[in-house]
Amino acid sequence: MLPSLTWPALLGVAAAVAIDRRAPAILPTEDDLTAANYSSYAPIQVQCPKRDQWVRSAGGLSNEESLWVEGRKPKVLEGLTSYLERLNLSDFDLETYLTRLQENKANVPTLGMAISGGAWSSALTGTGALRAIDDRFSPAVEQQVPTYNIGGSWPVMGLVTYNFPTIDAMIHAWHVDISRGTATTDTVHAATIQTMLEQIAPKHEAGYDLSYMDLLGRIFAYEFVAGPNGGMATTLSGVADLSNFREHNMPLPLWQAPQLVASDTSFYGIRVPADNAAIYEWTPFEIGSWTGPEEFFPTKYLGMKMVDGLPVDGCVVNYDKASFMLGMAADAWNFWLIEAYSNNTLGSFAKRATEPPQPKRSLSKRDGPPLSLLNGIASLFQQAYSLSVNAALYVSIPNPFATSTSTPNSTIVPTNLTLVDESEMLQAIPLWGLSQPARGVDFILAWDSDGDAAPYSWNNGTSLHGTYLYAQAHGVPFPIVPSPATFINRNYTTRPTFFGCDANLTMTNNTQAPIILYMGNAPYSAYTNYSAFQSSFSDENMAVILTNAFNQLSQGNGTLDAEWPECLGCAVVERSLAKVGMRRSEQCERCFGRYCWDGRSDDGAPGFVDPALVLDPSFSFEEWNRTGPQGGEFWAEV
């Protein structure tokens, strides 16, 4: 149950102090600010720097990202060279390939990784996948697994705000044994609900919209964001100033979320995103959308009022708190409420039933938090900030792309953007940003641990299929992806599967689409289908999670297929071969015959996804539950 909290200090300050929300007569410059200014959760009004343009068209990458990618290519080539030299590639002229990449580094493959949503379960199993492909982890080097650029999810925020440490060091810094939603005496690595509500109060007092996700973002931050007090002073744009980012030693992080608009369908007065909703993305450089407004704006200045591309009332910094941006990507409060109000018959996430024809909104779903907890937090927001459920329900940010009727022929765009969890669009794996032609990504590892398949919370490919349908609707090159029923019936839920190897099995019938390796979290050496909101994990928990992910990425340390490392290498280089005037080797043809989707579908009614351990089928799920390491439940403890 929610702790019984009292608010004399917080409410007393709010009642006794008249909040002056007017801008000061003379705004400070950014150079005037000190570390103390950033230690508050409140955004800071500053004088606007000189810029030729605040809002740019989404016609390509920003100058900042283009230059960063250009600087990243030599580092990728260095790692790719070491990786390919360790492989036993037959009938492949590696020397010629590497020489031609060296001559024109623009042809170096652009590689991505996308980790699905799914709260702590996906965050930690996805972290295991990161570790398995990190060449700083010695077994990964021995198993010849490459290092990728990365996009998506909670662990990525940890990876970049901690300045790209080794995965083991990052997990140690997270203190995963602590349940962050529980009132605790550990004031270094966690905080009480009361403390976190007091932390976010200055943002409300400064006149900015506050939502329940500000609070959840602070809970997440005490684990996944670097810096004192749960990364209170850490901003997303500040990542661009970290040494490993400046020196191109870490991947470019990317998050995304769909937009709600006034015309969206609602249940119980609560809106849900349309299937064709605009998807917004944000990096340390920019926030914006390739659909919808098709415009981008500097992340650093998010929070300021803009009309027709120009600032109103000065500029704002410190709005893009890493914790808030993390909470913004996980804003599912609307679905949780709908689910609770409807007695679990509405508000389903991308955990879909798979009996064909597959409905867009089925009744099978990941469990959300209980109504008592949702109502408890709503009551606290009402007491502390006088905010009703409707006022605090959604993440709402000042819209930098707002327009007014003063501009001839302009379309009226809302003054605020309302963003929600991408699971609500059946796209829990953040693939949309990585799939944009402007980024030219050649290969993506899509790690899925979203618990699509009821009742055991394994996966069925729903999110990959959902992005394919969205890409098809928007005309963006993407591999053709079959139905979730096919994933189950053809066993793509437990074995690695490539999509897009054959250019004829892409939407555009050419190599513009990336090759995507789908890896759904599966039981190789351990059953890791944890509840999404199990938030505390023992050292033993983490050991089995990391080992299981390594066994999956390495295919049982090579015991399931000794040639798997070479097959993975074939997919990594495939899209770049034509660019350097080379052809696929016979070895790669054999590999693609084994691991690439062949275009066949099986939409027959599938059974439950209930796999045995791949490396030890005799060890049952029931036995694991009886004897395996267990952890605490977040919602039960809060």
CA distance 69 to 112: 12
Residue 534 covered by a domain: yes
Domain assignment of residue 250, yes or no = yes
- pLDDT value of residue 480: 98
Structure tokens at 88: 């036993």
Task: Tell me whether residue 23 is in a domain.
Answer: no
- Residue 478 is predicted with a pLDDT of 98
Residue 364 has a pLDDT of 34
State the angle between helix axes of 212-224 and 193-205 in degrees (0 to 180), rounded to the nearest 10.
Answer: 120
CATH code: domain of residue 334: 3.40.1090.10
Per the domain annotation, does 25 fall within a domain?
no
Q: What is the pLDDT of residue 348?
A: 53
pLDDT value of residue 404: 64
Closest CA to 437 of 304, 290, 551: 290
Q: Is residue 73 part of a domain?
A: yes
Count of structural domains within the chain: 1
Check if the beta carbon of residue 589 is closer than 8 Å to that of residue 169: no
Using CB atoms within 10 Å of the CB of residue 267, give its burial: 0 to 12 exposed, 13 to 18 middle, 19+ buried.
middle
Kind and range of the H or E element at 220?
A: helix 212-224
Task: Give the integer Cα–Cα distance in Å for 530 and 519.
Answer: 17
Q: Which tens digits make up the pLDDT trace of 106-133? A: 999 999 999 998 888 888 899 999 998 8
CB 289 within 8 A of CB 276: no
First to last CA, the chain: 6
Query: Which pTM value belongs to this model?
Result: 0.91
Can you give the residue range of the structural domain that contains 442?
8-14+41-637
Using one digit for the tens of pLDDT, what is the confidence trace for 581-602? Answer: 999 999 999 999 999 999 999 9
Q: How far apart (Å, rounded) are the C-alpha atoms in residues 635 and 638? A: 5
Nearest to 183 by CA among 195, 168, 166, 171: 195
What SS3 state is found at 533?
coil
Q: What is the pLDDT of residue 9?
A: 29
Q: Give me the pLDDT at residue 141, please.
A: 60
| pLDDT value for 357 | 34
Task: Report yes or no: 325 and 317 within 8 Å, Cβ to Cβ.
Answer: no
Q: What is the DSSP string of 449-497?
A: -S--BTTTTB--SHHHHHHHHHHHHHT---B----HHHHHHTTTTTS-E
Model pLDDT, residue 492:
96
Q: Say what the pLDDT of residue 185 is.
A: 73
Spatial strand order of the sheet with 111-115 comes to 111-115, 443-448, 515-520, 497-499
pLDDT the model gives residue 358: 38
In a domain, 532, yes or no: yes
**CA 610/CA 624 separation, integer angstroms:** 13
CB 321 within 8 A of CB 303: no
Would you say residue 32 lies in a domain? no
The pair of structure tokens assigned to 284 is 């340390």
Per-residue burial over 316-333, b = 16 or more CB atoms within 10 Å of its CB, e = otherwise: bbbbbbbbbbbbbbbbbb
Residues of the chain with pLDDT under 50: 1-22, 146-148, 349-365, 407-410, 632-638
Residue 516 domain-assigned (yes or no): yes
The length of the chain in residues reads: 638
Which ranges in 241-289 belong to alpha helices (H)? 243-246
